[in-house]
Amino acid sequence: MDALSQRDVPPPVRVLVVDDEEAFRFVLEEVLKPFGYDVKTASDGDEAIELLKVETFDVVLLDVKMKRVDGFEVLKYAKAHCPETRVIMLTAYGDARTAIESFHLGASGILGKPCDLNDVLTTIERTLYT
């Protein structure tokens, strides 16, 4: 084996995108993959929690408002069972109360929807490396 094949290559950053809007999930996945992120998606809070039970993610991009199990419940689950996972909340209802509650529950960041895709990339990087 040569030195190049023996070097330690870090695994790709694993990102879970949770949003009830299929088009939004698709766009985020398509934007993140070319930057080397390993992306999975979930269409609701129940599906997100099930994935968090069996897989490890570095970052969760999480919609606040979803039917049945909302983003706050998923955030609570993630912080209790996956404390190393960073959660960035996504909300079209970007009021101060949502931001305060998100940070109080342990979110690493919050982005308003619709998101500027450069802001998404910057927020993920800042969340992971600061």
Task: For residue range 16-69, list pLDDT tens digits in order.
Answer: 999 999 999 999 999 999 999 999 999 999 999 999 999 999 999 999 998 889
* Total residue count of the chain as it appears in this document: 130
12 prior amide bond cis, ω within 30: no
Q: Could you state, in order of their start, the residue ranges of all structural domains in the chain?
A: 12-117
Question: With contact defined as beta carbons under 8 Å apart, do 18 and 61 qualify?
Answer: yes
Determine what percent of the chain is predicted with pLDDT higher than 70: 92
pLDDT for 21 equals 92
Residue closest to 87 by CA, chosen among 60, 66, 123, 52: 60
Cα(124)–Cα(128) distance, integer angstroms: 6
Q: How sure is the predictor about 72, in pLDDT bands with cuts at 50, 70 and 90?
A: very high
Which pTM value belongs to this model? 0.89
Residue closest to 46 by CA, chosen among 65, 73, 14: 73
Question: Is the pLDDT at 97 greater than 90, yes or no?
Answer: no
Question: Is the pLDDT at 8 greater than 70, yes or no?
Answer: no
CATH number of 12-117: 3.40.50.2300
Q: What b/e readout covers 54-73, taking b as 16+ CB neighbours within 10 angstroms?
A: eeebbbbbbbbebeebbbbb
Cα dihedral value 63, 67, 69, 75, nearest 10: 10
